[in-house]
């Protein structure tokens, strides 16, 4: 019989029978009730009340029973894994502004209220030591790629570049853009020229496959085409992995308090809405999910994930747009749990206030489909990225200003307030809320009957908009019926009310243990 192992084993020295009872409980669900899954359950999650053996096995048995029953019903087992604590604030869901709108006030005398955002950083050159830093290809080390004319830069191919020279230069870029070793922040590496999985380099990225083949053929002119292909694939993927993995390792060493990850990873490749508009499901292709799993080395080294949900104009105000986003966020959340030890990675979703290649702002429906969808699935936040097009004229600056003061601003206040209240009401402030059933349209929104979003007083030092109101008992009941908690690291329980001890025990802060025992006895007799 194989017993579940734990990083936080309980102390059985006081009474060895605790261990025996636990093993019998595991045996019961492994052999007598095999339909129940013990996946993800361990001694770490069993409350220990330090009762006599005849009683203390009952909380453990109940914990296993309830957990196994839940696992039998839920396919999203990652929801039971703790997640990283919020950065910068206690807010479970943050919104960042990452557009170069700093030019609007001096050039056009248009002042934007960016206090609505938890983070405000410009992606432009010259801005350093911000809470959010993007490392484009020329900002970090010696990234190998081919320019728009096909000329190699730093060797062109990762297998033709010097990893040592890249790593030697890496500290210069990090020191320039993040000056303090102890600074908290989001650090996003934006390398988009090639992808680390061979078959994902298509269209204009096919140059990396062709030149990899040419490199092998030049070294082994007598090899047959099949052997050249196999060797080229191996050389490219191995070098790409080393380049990305070592970059993360060294970056984390230089700035350990930053949350490091690559922009656009993971991707879902669910862009077939142009071909199958009427039958589009949004689902990530199975083969792409499998390929994402092959990147386990990348997820293990990352300390955050930065997927993208930029919306094409063709998806505007449509169910297809919601399907597109839902699957992409879901895949990022799956990766965040499955491929990282101890806790699930925080996911910060990149979006835009406008549609791709347009200056048309997202509709109310699409704000829900992007911000709202990300919050409902348990993402740590959303990052609004923008480019110089937003500030090219006084008119565009004024358009941004109106959008911030009206639709976008009001929705940001709605969602961030709702996520915070849900965390406090359902999770004791020690976790974030996420959907119980991810195929529903349940969103973390304030009840308009009990809340109003109003303008703050003109002399206020905070954001220009705020929410006023209070959750009713009915509001909390609705939240409880649609959402569950994902606890932060060091907390567990349905409402994240139990804190782990460093020695592996737990501090019970919930209802009295005897009430739990009474419920247990009735449940056991019912099932047996």
C-alpha distance from residue 75 to each of 14, 69, 79, 334, 438 (Å): 37, 12, 9, 11, 10
227 Cβ neighbours under 8 A, 6+ residues apart: 220
Buried b / exposed e over 346-385, threshold 16 CB at 10 Å, is: bbbbbbbbbbeeeeebbbeebbbbbbbbbbbbbbbbbbbb
Q: Which of 125, 192, 395, 406 is catalytic?
A: 192
Instruction: Report the pLDDT value the prediction gives residue 517, as an integer from 0 to 100.
Output: 43
pTM: 0.82
Q: Distance between CA 204 and CA 206 in Å, rounded?
A: 5
Domain boundaries, the chain: 17-78+495-527, 84-123+265-489
Known catalytic membership, residue 192: yes
Q: What is the DSSP string of 355-414?
A: -TT--PBPPHHHHIIIIIHHHHTT-SEEEEE--GGGGSSHHHHHHHHHHHHTHHHHHHHH
Residue 502 has a pLDDT of: 61
| Residue 404: φ, ψ to 5° | -65, -35
> How many of the other CB atoms lie within 10 Å of CB of 98?
23
Q: What does the pLDDT profile of the chain (528 residues) look like in tens digits?
A: 333 333 333 333 333 444 444 444 444 443 333 334 343 343 333 433 334 444 444 444 444 444 444 333 334 445 579 998 998 888 999 999 999 999 999 999 999 999 999 999 999 998 999 999 999 999 999 999 999 999 999 999 999 999 999 999 999 999 999 999 999 999 999 999 999 999 999 999 999 999 999 999 999 999 999 999 999 999 999 999 999 999 999 999 999 999 999 999 999 999 999 898 999 999 999 999 999 999 999 999 999 999 999 999 999 999 999 999 999 999 999 999 998 888 999 999 999 999 998 899 999 999 999 999 999 999 999 999 999 999 999 999 999 999 999 999 999 999 999 999 999 999 999 999 999 998 889 999 999 999 999 998 887 888 999 999 999 999 999 999 999 999 999 999 999 999 987 655 555 444 444 444 444 444 444 455
How many helical (H) and strand (E) elements, i.e. helices and strands, does the chain have?
15, 16
Class of domain 84-123+265-489: alpha beta
């Amino acid at each position: 019989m194989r017993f579940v192992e734990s990083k936080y084993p309980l102390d059985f020295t006081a009474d060895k029978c605790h261990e025996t009872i636990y093993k019998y409980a595991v045996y019961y669900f492994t052999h007598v009730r095999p339909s129940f899954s013990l996946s993800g359950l361990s001694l770490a999650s069993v409350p220990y009340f330090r009762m006599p053996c005849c009683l203390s096995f009952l909380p453990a048995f109940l914990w296993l029973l309830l957990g196994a029953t839940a696992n039998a019903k839920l396919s999203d087992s990652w929801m039971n894994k703790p997640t990283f604590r919020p950065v910068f604030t206690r807010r479970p869901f943050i919104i960042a502004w990452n557009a170069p709108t700093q030019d609007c006030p001096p050039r056009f005398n248009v002042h934007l209220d960016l206090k609505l955002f938890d983070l405000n950083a410009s992606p432009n050159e010259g801005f350093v030591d911000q809470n959010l830093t993007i490392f484009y290809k020329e900002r970090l080390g010696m990234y190998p790629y081919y320019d728009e004319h096909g000329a190699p830069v730093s060797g062109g191919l990762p297998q033709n570049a010097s990893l040592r020279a890249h790593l030697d230069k890496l500290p210069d870029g990090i020191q320039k853009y993040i000056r303090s070793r102890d600074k908290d922040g989001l650090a996003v590496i934006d390398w988009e020229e090639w992808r680390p999985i061979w078959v994902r380099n298509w269209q204009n990225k096919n140059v990396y496959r062709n030149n990899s083949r040419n490199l092998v053929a030049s070294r082994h002119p007598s090899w047959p085409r099949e052997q050249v292909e196999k060797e080229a694939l191996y050389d490219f993927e191995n070098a790409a992995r080393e380049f990305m993995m070592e970059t993360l390792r060294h970056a984390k060493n230089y700035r350990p308090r930053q949350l490091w990850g690559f922009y656009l990873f993971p991707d879902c490749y669910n862009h077939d809405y142009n071909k199958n508009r009427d039958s589009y499901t949004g689902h990530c292709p199975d083969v792409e999910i499998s390929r994402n799993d092959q990147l386990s080395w990348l997820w293990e080294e990352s300390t955050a994930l930065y997927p993208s949900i930029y919306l094409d104009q063709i998806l505007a105000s449509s169910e297809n747009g919601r399907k597109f986003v839902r699957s992409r966020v879901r895949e990022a959340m799956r990766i965040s749990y499955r491929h990282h030890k101890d806790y699930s990675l925080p996911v910060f979703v990149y979006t835009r206030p406008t549609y791709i290649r347009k200056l048309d702002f997202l509709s109310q429906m699409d704000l829900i489909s992007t911000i709202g969808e990300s919050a409902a699935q348990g993402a740590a936040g959303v990052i609004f990225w923008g480019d110089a097009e937003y500030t090219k004229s006084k008119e565009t600056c004024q358009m941004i200003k109106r959008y911030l003061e009206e639709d976008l601003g009001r929705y940001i206040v709605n969602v961030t307030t709702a996520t915070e209240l849900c965390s406090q009401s359902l999770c004791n402030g020690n976790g974030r809320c996420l959907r119980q059933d991810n195929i529903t349209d349940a969103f973390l929104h304030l009840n308009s009957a009990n809340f109003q979003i109003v303008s703050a007083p003109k002399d206020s030092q905070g954001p220009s908009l705020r929410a006023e109101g209070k959750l009713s008992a009915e509001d909390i009941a609705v939240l409880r019926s649609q959402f569950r908690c994902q606890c932060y690291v060091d907390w567990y329980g349905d409402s994240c009310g139990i804190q782990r001890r460093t020695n592996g025990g737990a501090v019970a802060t919930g209802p009295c243990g005897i009430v739990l025992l009474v419920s247990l006895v009735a449940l056991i007799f019912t099932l047996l």
